[in-house]
Structure 1
């Protein structure tokens, strides 16, 4: 159950990352519309923190170690990184 929640948060975090830097930042700086950036920024911040906390719990529960946690953390900092983590590490864990 925790892995399914983490997977959902990972996907949502990735989507919020793309929305933040692909949609709301250009709106803020080019169209001078800061409102979407504020809303999406708060959502992305919450999802990022939830992702990192859940990554700690998941790594502890599955004995994945510090290297896997660092991979999960770095993936959250890169565009499309959480989608890669989902496909490579999370989805296969659910198929046993």
Structure 2
């Protein structure tokens, strides 16, 4: 998976998707239901760094793979939708095998 730009992008995308889900479905309930404010601080910071790496991976992959601009925007939008990165990863996997 890490042998080319697309594989590295897929890995970072999966990590970003997991960090978003942990932030939304674990850290935020801990903060608002149990008063654990540090959960969002810690997970949010980690998610922020992973998101920055994801943005860098989008730009790098766009250049290396020569993605159309429309596909690049779609990859960016998928980062803001829960489970969006997993749907994008499935499409990328199907693109690669077809």
Aligned to 1:26: 29
Structure 2 length-normalised TM: 0.88
Aligned to 1:83: 86
- Say which of 1, 6, 9 aligns to 2:9: 6
1:20-70 CA deviation, whole Å, 9 max, x = no partner? 011101111110001221111111101111111111111111111210110
Describe how 1:40-51 pairs up with structure 2 within 5 A.
40-51=43-54
Q: Pick which of 10-19 and 30-39 moved more.
A: 30-39
Q: Pick which of 47-56 and 67-76 moved more.
A: 47-56
Q: Pick which of 58-67 and 8-17 moved more.
A: 58-67
Structure 1 length-normalised TM: 0.90
**Greater than 4 Å deviation, 4+ residue runs:** none
Shift of 1:94: 4.4
Aligned to 1:35: 38
Shift of 1:2: 2.3
- Structure 2 residue ranges without an equivalent (≥5): none
Aligned to 1:92: 94
